[in-house]
Amino acid sequence: MSSLARRIAVVALAALLAACATKQGSVVLLPERDGKATAVVVTQGGTQVPLGQPYAAANLTSAGPKAYQSSAQEVQTYFAAALAAQPLPPVQFTLYFVEGKDEFTAESKAIIDGVFAEIAKRPVPDVVVIGHTDKVGSDAVNDPLSRQRAEVVRAALLARGIAVDKVVAIGRGKREPIVATAEGVAEARNRRVEIQVR
């Protein structure tokens, strides 16, 4: 065989093997609802394929992952049933307190009505109440304080008729401020309680 013929044979064989690679599945990255950066890294055998753009996709095959560009239409064709079964995303409400008291502001009372409207939309609702503090003090102080704030709101929800086993109260301390501040800064907007209905 001439070297050209050999080269052609090798290329043809490689193409044949690629064509014969059994497809085992696929992964498609979807666009973000809120426009934030997103990524999934697909690892198969020793090969990594990072997916970083909307509809970036990889076919999983017996010869490793093969990157390709998928589309909204293809996703609908293959994943309509899975996507239709997606639970309603958690909805979040934020309550603020009258300074120095366990008393909601007038706006916060209206927000609690919104919480109950959201609960009514869901077949098996559960509620997570998350307390936050500002950055004054250590975790040892702020973790229990944020939990106490959440417990006050949980008690208010229970008083309005939510079942005890449907509401949990947790404290995030100072880990998730709305307004970024230095340590030790008092900031009213960070002293809050979030209610997630899911």
Partner 1 sequence: MKHAHVGPWSRWLLTSLALGLSSTAAFAEIGQIKVAKGQVSVDRKGQVLPGQVGLLLEAADVLKTGADGSVGVTMRDNTLLSAGPNSILALERFEFDATTSQGRFDSQLRRGTLSVVSGRIAKQSPEAMTLRTPSAVLGVRGTEFVVAVDE
Which residues would be at the binding site for partner 1 (CB under 8 A)?
A: 23-33, 36-44, 51, 60, 62, 65, 75, 78-90, 122-124, 126, 128, 130, 143, 165, 168, 170-173, 175, 196, 198
* Shortest distance, position 132 Cβ to partner 1, whole Å: 11
Say which DSSP state 112 is in: H
* Shortest distance, position 91 Cβ to partner 1, whole Å: 11
Q: Select 13 or 39, whichever has its Cβ closest to partner 1.
A: 39
Position 195: which residue type?
I
Q: Are 90 and 196 a contacting pair, CB within 8 Å?
A: yes
* Shortest distance, position 136 Cβ to partner 1, whole Å: 18
Beta carbons within 10 angstroms of residue 132's beta carbon: 24
Q: Select 80 or 188, whichever has its Cβ closest to partner 1.
A: 80
The tally of CA atoms less than 13 A away on the side-chain side of residue 7 is: 3
Q: Select 11 or 20, whichever has its Cβ closest to partner 1.
A: 20
* Shortest distance, position 131 Cβ to partner 1, whole Å: 10
Measuring CA to CA, how many Å separate 88 from each of 46, 75, 115, 126, 133?
37, 19, 14, 12, 28
Q: Select 108 or 147, whichever has its Cβ closest to partner 1.
A: 147
Long-range contacts, 69-74 (Cβ 8 Å, 24+): 70/26, 70/28, 74/28
